[in-house]
Amino acid sequence: MTYVVVEMCVDCKYTDCAAVCPVEAFHELPDRLYINADTSVPEQHAHWTQINIDEAPKYPVISQKIPALHGEKCSGPAE
């Protein structure tokens, strides 16, 4: 999932996402990481960008960690 590196990310390098990224989207500088938006969303998933733009505003914002949902169709790692 694409994330934009902004000013508050300078002097921070959290690499949790880089370690599990299915594409080579992370680029390391001495004081931060950059994410290449052109490679972070594989072409076969590009249509999901517009789906997220359209659907996200319809639902509440979440800003805290909650227990993961690991349903039948989930292909991510179980917590």
Kindly state the average pLDDT of the residues 53-75: 84
Asked whether residue 15 is assigned to any structural domain, the reply reads yes
Task: State the total domains in the chain.
Answer: 1
Count CA atoms within 13 Å of residue 43 on its CB side: 0
pTM here is 0.59
pLDDT digits 0-9 by tens, 18-63: 887 778 888 998 888 888 878 888 788 888 889 988 999 999 988 8
Asked whether residue 13 is assigned to any structural domain, the reply reads yes
- Spatial neighbors of 10 by CB under 8 A, at least 6 apart, are 31, 32
Band of the pLDDT at 79, cuts 50, 70, 90? low
Task: State the pLDDT at residue 1.
Answer: 58
CATH number, domain with residue 26: 3.30.70
Range of the domain at 22: 1-46
Asked whether residue 64 is assigned to any structural domain, the reply reads no
Task: State the pLDDT at residue 14.
Answer: 80
Asked whether residue 38 is assigned to any structural domain, the reply reads yes
CA dist 32 and 10 (Å) reads 5
